[in-house]
């Protein structure tokens, strides 16, 4: 196997990736390039630069990817109304293909032989990072330290940091949240700690983005979301960029206690895992997008989208964003959104998102036909008799042959 001279590390500046940085330097005797992505996690990222510099890193990339993240990854996902296992809005999953893409780009820019990540051998993220990297650069080598080293406990990691002079604030590490957390502009997730007991109810202090519905405002708030080709382009008439839209909806949804989820999901690697998620903006977006589609999409197009959605969501969850089948589905989904234009009005109140109005110049809703009043001949109700008899023909034939369902 060829010697590795340079590796690009997905680096957060935290304990785990700081240890990985030093471990790569010592284990592979290679130069390490660090890449830190700003995808809206809400943390100060410049300290990661100082830590990397203190550990001898020369090439340090800290990239603001917030607009690209929402525009090219979150928005396409919401055009599909994607939900994994009927509930999960894929907040962690959808960020991984972007990080994999940027890791590969930096590897090409710097002439690196490999990329490295801090995902464990038990989780989904290792699959997502690596499938994305291989799809974009087939010959890339991937180093996953958690699958190689023997540092299998928090104590072992702390001891390694002390022994190798890794700049870590041990007091801060010791007082950190008991949960493994991941945050970006779409969501924040919590795993581990007490959540490993599916019966255990997390304490209220765990939640960071949302108020409990009981503590949320006593007054409902109504907002209007403007759509063009399936994407939100303005809120209450004010034009916003994709990242601005999601940030605004996160704040507003959090104030109203919207977007909490406690879920036991099936990981791609085979085990069940319990996680808690806060996705306030995404919860509003999903409800509103289905509302604007309800008046602008043809019935069979809408139903076909719903049939394909679970497959599309699984592709994202399992790490196949860059696969030909996801790209094929995306082409179909995006084509369906050409007429998904208009405005949706939603009411936010104590954990609920209620659609209270929708309008569109491309609406297929025809009040002159659907009315319960005099439709002046727009719809001939006598036509329904033949329609029902033809659709019931096979049922009548089966019943006549003694195949009654009674």
Catalytic residues: 16, 96, 125, 180
C-beta neighbour count of 64 within 10 angstroms: 13
Under 8 Å between Cβ of 272 and 265: yes
Q: Which helix (H) or strand (E) holds 183?
A: strand 180-183
Q: Give the residue carrying structure tokens 């940027």.
A: 102
DSSP secondary structure string, 203-261? PGGG--S---GGGS-SS-EEEEEEEETTEEEEETTEE--HHHHHHHHHHHHHHTT--EE
Under 8 Å between Cβ of 296 and 341: yes
For 381: left if phi > 0, alpha if psi spans -120 to 50, otherwise beta; the answer is: alpha
- Of the candidates 327, 330, 351, 343, the residue with the CA atom closest to the CA atom of residue 218: 351
H-assigned helices in 80-169: 96-110, 125-136, 154-163
3-state helix, strand, coil in the chain (%, to 5): 45, 20, 35
């Amino acid at each position: 196997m060829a010697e590795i001279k340079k590796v690009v590390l997905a680096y957060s500046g935290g304990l785990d990736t700081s240890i990985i940085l030093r471990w790569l330097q010592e284990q592979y005797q290679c130069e390490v390039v660090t890449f830190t992505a700003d995808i809206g996690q809400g943390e100060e990222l410049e300290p990661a630069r100082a830590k990397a510099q203190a550990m001898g890193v020369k090439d340090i990339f800290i990239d603001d990817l917030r607009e690209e993240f929402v525009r090219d990854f979150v928005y396409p996902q919401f055009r599909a109304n994607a939900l994994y296992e009927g509930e999960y809005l894929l907040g962690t999953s959808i960020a991984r293909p972007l990080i994999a893409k940027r890791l590969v780009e930096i590897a090409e820019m710097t002439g690196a032989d490999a990329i490295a990540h801090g995902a464990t051998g038990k989780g989904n993220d290792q699959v997502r990072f690596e499938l994305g990297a291989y799809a974009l650069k087939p010959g890339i080598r991937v180093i996953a330290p958690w699958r190689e080293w023997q540092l299998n406990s928090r104590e072992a990691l702390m001891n390694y940091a002390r022994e190798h002079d890794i700049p870590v604030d041990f007091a801060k590490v010791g007082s950190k949240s008991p949960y493994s957390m991941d945050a970006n502009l779409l969501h924040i997730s919590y795993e581990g700690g007490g959540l490993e007991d599916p019966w255990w109810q997390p304490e209220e202090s765990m939640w960071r983005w949302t108020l409990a519905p009981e503590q949320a405002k006593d007054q409902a708030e109504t907002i209007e979301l403007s759509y063009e080709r399936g994407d939100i382009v303005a809120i209450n008439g004010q034009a916003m960029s994709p990242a601005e839209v999601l940030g605004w909806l996160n704040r507003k949804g959090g104030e109203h206690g919207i977007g909490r989820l406690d879920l036991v999901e099936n990981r791609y690697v085979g085990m069940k895992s319990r996680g808690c998620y806060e996705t306030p903006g995404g919860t509003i977006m999903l409800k509103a997008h289905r509302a604007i589609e309800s008046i602008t999409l043809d019935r069979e197009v809408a139903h076909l989208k719903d049939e394909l959605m679970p497959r599309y969501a699984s592709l994202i969850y399992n790490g196949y964003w860059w696969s030909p089948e996801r790209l094929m589905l995306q082409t179909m989904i995006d084509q369906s959104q050409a007429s998904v234009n208009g405005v949706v009005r939603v009411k936010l109140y104590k954990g609920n998102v209620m659609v209270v109005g929708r309008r569109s110049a491309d609406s297929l809703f025809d009040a002159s036909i659907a009315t319960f009043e005099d439709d002046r001949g727009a719809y001939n109700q006598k036509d329904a008799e033949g329609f029902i008899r033809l659709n019931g023909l096979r049922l009548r034939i089966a019943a006549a042959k003694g195949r009654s369902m009674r």
